[in-house]
Structure 1
Amino acid sequence: MRRLFPKLTASLAVCSALVSMGVAADVIKIGVQAPITGQYANEGQSIDNGVRLVVDQYNAKGGVLGKKIEVITCDDQGTAQQAAICAKKLVNEGVKAVIGSYTSGATEAAQTTYFRAGVLQTSDGTSDSLITHKYWTFFRNSFPNSAEADYTAKYFVEGKQYKKIVILSDYSSYSTDLASAVSNALKAKNATIIYEGKIKSGAQNFTATLTKIKSMNPDVIYFSGYYTDGGLLRAQQIQLGIKADFVGGDSNDNPDYMKLAGKSAVGSYLINVPTPDILPYDIAKTFLVDYQAKYNMMPASIWSLMNVDGLRAILHTMEQTKSEDTKVIAASMHTLKDFPGITGPVTFREDGERIGGGYMTYEVQEDKSYKIVYQ
């Protein structure tokens, strides 16, 4: 009997492995890499919620290619170090594609790992550098900083005719890239930039920088960083009696910007692509209703919805190609044109860049709603 036990144990192990392989073969794994905790948690949680809603809807109809979809989430906390850890974890989990991350820095830190593993990655990161690697695995579901910069320069010079412009950024790759792009676009239009500086994200108190700026008597303070700092910058600007307009780049478009700025948010301006409730697409309106019904809240911002569109484009292409092979899927996505997205038609270039997209400038109203003032 003692001699039989090892053989029996080995047989059971083989059977168990075969069962596991059979179960795995009936599942398509999708990863989410996003800041579930940390200063950008509401954005990361919104991305995860949106992905899970789409997957639930697909699974209710039988999944994709006859297989159920499983979501595996890794919290990258919005940092490059944690993003690299997440990338290895999700690759080891056997995901076919990863949705995320929210920040350009975290996205870029994971890119090479996904490329080497042949795992698709789609992110809302806007830094132009994300495309320069030319990884066939990467797709941007938002629009690059250079596109926003061109719009911003046109708004400042032709729309508002600002004479004295201040540009502030933080040290993140996204914010630095956007500030540089805006600066270059303004200089191309012969605009006058009186100050370009950086703040340390999360520092909370920016009065020293703002006091220095106040003496320059600017027409506008433009901030290319995230809402977690933008709201405080705006509040402290008003406290110091700086009369300049405040214009926040796209990552300031978040409900927490309003909370942090408080009453000072009123009269400030935010630049971003149109929100889904403005877009004339039924699919957007339906998704927002479904999201509200499932989570009893609205998505944090347009960014989570862009990530959802990245997932939807991947699943759509899987169905169209009838393939789980990521190289087959990527080749087809590189020619995807006018796929009906929640955030508008989705078209990718051969380098994975999303084509199209228009920007708007919103003025924050007394009731914290947005008024479109330039497009």
Structure 2
Amino acid sequence: MILKNITKTIAVSAILASSLMAADVVKIGVQAPITGEYANEGQSIENFVKLIVEEKNAAGGLLGKQIEVVTCDDEGKAQKAAICAKKLVNEGVFAVIGSYTSGATEAAQTTYFRSKVLQTSDGTSDSLISNKYWTFFRNSFPNSSQSDFTAEYMVNSKKYKNIVVLSDYSSYSEGLGDATAASIKALGGNVIYRGKIKSGTQNFTAMLTKVKSMNPDVIYYSGYYTDGGLLRAQQAQLQIDADFVGGDSNDNPDFYKLAGASAEGSVLINFPTPEILPYPEAKKYLAAYKTKFQMDPPSIWSVTNADGLRAVIEGVEKTNSFDTKKISDYIRTMKDFPGITGPFNIREDGERVGAKFVVYKMKNDGTKDVVSE
């Protein structure tokens, strides 16, 4: 009988200890492509989240609670993203950072909204804010702002007469391609062809042969670096004498690997890359990232997601609450929160405002020169 009572006491104590531990922990999710073709981006998002969480935990945590990071690999795919959303909600996260692609982000949005879980993503598709979910806010800038900048550069700065616009079929790439074509036409520019490729095909010879017959001055590609680098390489192989301009998701070290020597002279349009961000927070966190992971972030996207996390943390601390509606309302009223990527301001609909873009010309040694801002 005594042994039975002792066993019962130990079991009860274990349950109480478990409950106490749970009460002292708050969970933040990462939904990102940890594996697959965008793995270096997803892994960098997870790394940056863990870096900031470690810093916060070392300083006492969030409202006295230690932060636990729970990661789900969506591979950048919508179907797996929907599964990740349910998994992370069941894990008890109150906020999720991600995903990297707009399609994966959008596939998870409704689940987070219904569960009152905050979500912040670098996805740039304008459609991400169409539902006006109070749970969602963007940590990057929308396709519409980039398309206007891109059209201004190609039509008024470069004065291209014959422009080809290519995209893949993803919501991000197709949306940016359509928006850029519309912005070019609005400025009086001439889009001679608006085409689409199947991402991951790897051989784009048929499309490029068709494009070559049109004698374009420039080929603009709004998709991801995994296809953009190959497009550029195959353009050179087919001796298509046209400039190449890539949208923001071409800005990744793997573009150079895929494009090879033909990377030289390619132009990319993106936010300022991490190494040229002039803000005090950028210098601090980018140095910490390099020290911890022995590399720089592959692009700006993990950095914008880091700002999304920092905005959530700021919202928790300023409201002294884990009430996600209160946090969301606060984030939408912040004025010039000092982000790693610059002043952080979110509109009522969840859109980040104050976009700044840069034109880079690539060199085949893996570096870029700023052409214009």
TM class by shorter chain equals over 0.9
Q: How many angstroms does 1:283 deviate by?
A: 1.3
Q: Which residue of 2 aligns with 1:95?
A: 93
State whether residues 44 and 102 of structure 1, in contact with CA within 8 Å, keep that contact through their aligned partners in structure 2: yes
Q: What is the aligned partner in structure 1 of residue 143 from structure 2?
A: 145
Q: Does 2:311 match 1:313? A: yes
2:173 matched residue in structure 1: 175
How far has the Cα of 1:16 moved from its partner?
A: 3.5
Contact 1:107 1:123 in 2 (8 A): yes
Letter in structure 1 aligned against 2:276:
I
1:76-124 Cα shifts (integer Å, max 9, x gaps): 0100011011101100111110000000000000000000111000000
Separation of aligned partners in 1, 2:240 and 2:14: 69
The alignment partner of 1:152 has SS state of helix
Instruction: Report what 1:289 is aligned to.
Output: 287
- Partner-residue secondary structure (3-state), 2:195: strand
Q: Using the alignment, how far apart are the partners of 2:343 and 2:276 within structure 1?
A: 14
Per-residue CA distance 1:124-166 (angstroms, 9 max, x = gap): 0000000001100001000000000000110111110010000
Among residues 186, 191, 197, which one is paired with 2:189 in the alignment? Answer: 191
Residue of structure 2 aligned with 1:302, choices 300, 303, 315: 300
Deviation at 1:190, TM superposition (A): 1.8
The amino acid that maps onto 1:172 is S
1:60 aligns with 2:58: yes
The alignment's C-alpha RMSD in Å is: 1.5
Native 8 Å contact 2:253 2:366 kept in 1: no
Query: Which residue pairs with 1:267 in the alignment?
Result: 265
The letter for the 2-side match of 1:313 is A
- Aligned partners of 1:76, 1:13: CA distance in 2, in Å? 37
Q: Which residue of 2 aligns with 1:370?
A: 368
TM-score (norm 1): 0.97
Unaligned runs of 5+ in 1: none
> Runs ≥4 in structure 1, deviation > 6 angstroms?
7-11
Query: Which of residues 20, 25, 29 in structure 2 aligns to 1:31?
Result: 29
Q: How does 1:1-375 map to 2 (within 5 A)?
A: 14-375=12-373
For 1:325 and 1:14, how far apart are their aligned partners in 2? 30
Looking at structure 2, the residues matched to 260 and 368 of structure 1 have their Cα atoms a distance apart, in angstroms, of 12
Query: Matched residue of 1:191: which SS?
Result: coil
Q: Deviations over 1:304-349 (max 9, x none)?
A: 1000000011111111111111111111011111111111110000
Contact 1:155 1:374 in 2 (8 A): no
Code of the aligned partner of 2:131? H
State how far apart, in whole Å, the 2-side matches of 1:189 and 1:266 are: 28
What is the distance in 1 between the residues matched to 2:7 and 2:143?
58
Can you give the 5+ residue segments of structure 2 that lack an aligned partner in the other structure? none
How far 1:277 moved relative to its partner? Answer: 2.2
Alignment coverage as a number of residue pairs:
373
Aligned AA (1:285): K
Letter in 1 for 2:187: K
Q: Is the 8 A contact 1:159 1:374 kept in 2?
A: no
Query: Matches of 1:209 and 1:278 in 2, distance apart?
Result: 36
- C-alpha distance in 2 between matches for 1:50 and 1:211: 42
Structure 1 contact 31–97 (Cα < 8 Å) conserved: yes
